[in-house]
Amino acid sequence: MREDRRKGSVGHVRVSEVGKVFARAGRPEIILKDCTFDVLPGRLNVLIGPSGSGKSTLVNLIAGYATPSVGEVEIDGTRVTGPGADRMVVFQETTLFPWMTLIDNIAFGPIQAGVPKLSAHEQARALLSKVGLTGFEHRFTDQVSGGMQRRAEVARALINRPKVLLLDEPFRGLDHMSRGLMQEYFLRLFEDEGITTLFVTSEVDEAILLADRVIVLSYKPTAVKSILDVFLPRPRTFQMQTLPQFAELKGATLQLLYEEALKGFVKGTAASAELDRLMAAQRSMR
């Protein structure tokens, strides 16, 4: 199994012609419209798009927590109809169970799969040391820092050796330094394990540093705007951010995102409303 995954033959996600409508106050709101893309096996696929574009919605559809209004999601040729242990999700907010210690959280999946408690704990301990959490096994989740929670959460997903790992802005809200550290940890993990990954982010630097491919979303309605391949060597290091290649890719991605952001801004997103409000407040202060 493990060898297979390293070679990257498992976990091919195909999102085809997916559309999603939500009802807001009885009115339809089209969030996703005709999204088609592949999450290539064994690669680190990054999904990037402006805030509110429907990235989390896409993740929920792939995870099976929601069903697409139109189109379908397949994994290795099998249609997704609900959540399953072949896909593990790390959300942008922590979903570690607060009533369990870190090690119990991480051993939860294997124990559910029938692994005896002792060896599940052993596996969990090994993985915890891999993400730098040795010594924190018996802390509750609220008793460790946000960065540690994120790492534990990644570990809880990885220990089940899923076909696909889905990460929805896992490092959002961390400060710059811990974010950098988390990215390093994550790169090492990915390069070791080679699990097919879909990593959602709204940060261009993060996207390019991590990715084999960057899937750029358009906005309102959301579809795939473009897919960029990142040919930076692996193992990746932080220093690669200074390479001219990196800058070039960053420029291209930013250009794509800028066009979309502008579209959204004009259409009255949260950001533009915020700006309007600020300006109004300034006027009234005078």
Partner 1 sequence: MTEVHTGGGRAAERVVRALRDPVLWQGAIGIASFFVVWQVLKWIGLFALLPGPVDVVRAVPQQMEQEGYWLSWLASSRRVFLGFLVAAILAISIGVSMGMSRKLRMAGFPILEVLRPIPPLAWLPLSILFWPSPEATMVFLTFLGAFFPIFINILAGIDRIDIRYIQAARSLGAGQATLFWRVMVPGALPALFTGLSIAIGITWEVVIAAEMASAQLGLGYLTWNAYMSQSLVGIVVGMLSIGVAGMVSSGIMGWIGRNAMPWRRGR
Partner 2 sequence: MAVTNSSLGAAQVDGGYDARLRASPDWPVQAGDWRARLRKASRAQALRYALLGFGIFFGLWYLLTAVIVPPRFNYIPNPALLFGQWISEVPQYGISVFIPEYYGHIWVSVLRVYTAFAISVGVGAPLGILLGWSRFGRNTLFPVVEMLRPIPPLAWVPLAVLALPETEMAVIFVTLLASFFATVLNTYLGVRSIPETYFRAAACLGYRRVDVLRRVVIPGALPFIFTGLQIAMGVAWFSLVGGELIAGRSGLGYLILDGYTQLALPNIFIGMITLGVLGWASSALIRKVGELMMAWHVKGQGGGA
Ligand X SMILES: Nc1ncnc2c1ncn2[C@@H]1O[C@H](COP(=O)(O)OP(=O)(O)OP(=O)(O)O)[C@@H](O)[C@H]1O
> What residues make contact with partner 1 under the rule CB under 8 A?
63, 65, 83-85, 87-89, 91, 93, 95, 97-100, 108-109, 112-113, 140-143, 156, 160
| Nearest alpha-carbon partner for 229 in 256, 208, 243, 244 | 208
Query: Please, what is the angle between helix 244-266 and helix 270-285, to 10°?
Result: 70
Binder of residue 140, out of Mg ion, partner 2, partner 1, none (CB less than 5 to 8 A by kind): partner 1
Whole-angstrom distance, CA of residue 112 vs CA of residue 88: 14
Q: How far is the CB of 140 from partner 1 (least distance, A)?
A: 4
Q: Which is nearer to ligand X, 21 or 115 (CB)?
A: 21
Q: Which is nearer to partner 1, 95 or 178 (CB)?
A: 95
Residues numbered 37-66 forming contacts with ligand X, rule: CB under 6 A: 49, 51-57
Q: How far is the CB of 54 from partner 1 (least distance, A)?
A: 18
The binder of Mg ion chosen from 21, 38, 56, 185 (CB under 5 A): 56
- Do 170 and 138 touch, CB atoms closer than 8 A? no
Rounded to a whole number of angstroms, the distance between the first and last alpha carbons of the chain is 68
Residues numbered 67-106 forming contacts with partner 2, rule: CB under 8 A: 69-70
Whole-angstrom distance, CA of residue 139 vs CA of residue 160: 21
Residues numbered 11-40 forming contacts with ligand X, rule: CB under 6 A: 22, 24, 31
| Nearest alpha-carbon partner for 86 in 226, 195, 240, 199 | 195
| Nearest alpha-carbon partner for 182 in 219, 146, 212, 231 | 146
Binding site for partner 2 (CB under 8 A): 17, 19-23, 26-28, 30, 33-34, 36-38, 69-70, 223-227, 277, 280-281, 284
